[in-house]
Amino acid sequence: MNNSIRFNWIYLFIFIIVIEVIGSLSALFAGDIKSIYNGLNLPVLSPPDYLFGIVWPILYALIGIAGYLIYYTPSIQHDKVINYILFGSQLVINFIWSIIFFKYEAYWLSFAVIIVLDLIVLLCIINFFKSSQLASILFVPYFVWIVFASYLTIGVAMLN
């Protein structure tokens, strides 16, 4: 029996679109992110607002591809269950972070939430590696970005 992944463009596309929609809904529920961001006292190294609109769609596409790989790559059932739980958890936490930060302006709470997100994404990278090295690698830019976002979050919490 062949243990390699059976590639399906349609399912890959569906995974990417679903993740992009989840990200878009989070931004929609968070309110006027651009205005709120520009009204904050920001820490050193804060990027311009337009950069987020470039980076997040790319990261969501990578997350979608990784999700597809995790779902369709044959692996031990126990590993699959852990991967699904980690993948779903990071999606939920990612979704609520923007709402907590921008809509409710709960900066310290959003810092605690993003630290949990950092840890779960790190666990994703470690655990995905067993099933799909590519899925694990695709989560690295996401991890780097949210670690940077953690720095920005604590900076905003301290300055506002």
Instruction: Tell me the per-residue pLDDT of 6-60, one tens digit each, with 9 for 90 and over.
Output: 789 999 999 999 999 999 999 999 999 999 999 999 999 999 999 999 999 999 9
* pLDDT at res. 28: 98
Q: Can you tell me the distance from the alpha carbon of 34 to that of 13, in angstroms, rounded to the nearest whole number?
A: 28
> Residue with structure tokens 């936490």?
93
The chain-wide mean pLDDT, for the chain, equals 95
* pLDDT at res. 4: 55
92: pLDDT strictly greater than 90: yes
88: pLDDT strictly greater than 80: yes
Q: Can you tell me the distance from the alpha carbon of 84 to that of 72, in angstroms, rounded to the nearest whole number?
A: 11
Q: Could you tell me the two tokens for 18?
A: 């679903």
Per-residue pLDDT, averaged over 89-118, amounts to: 98
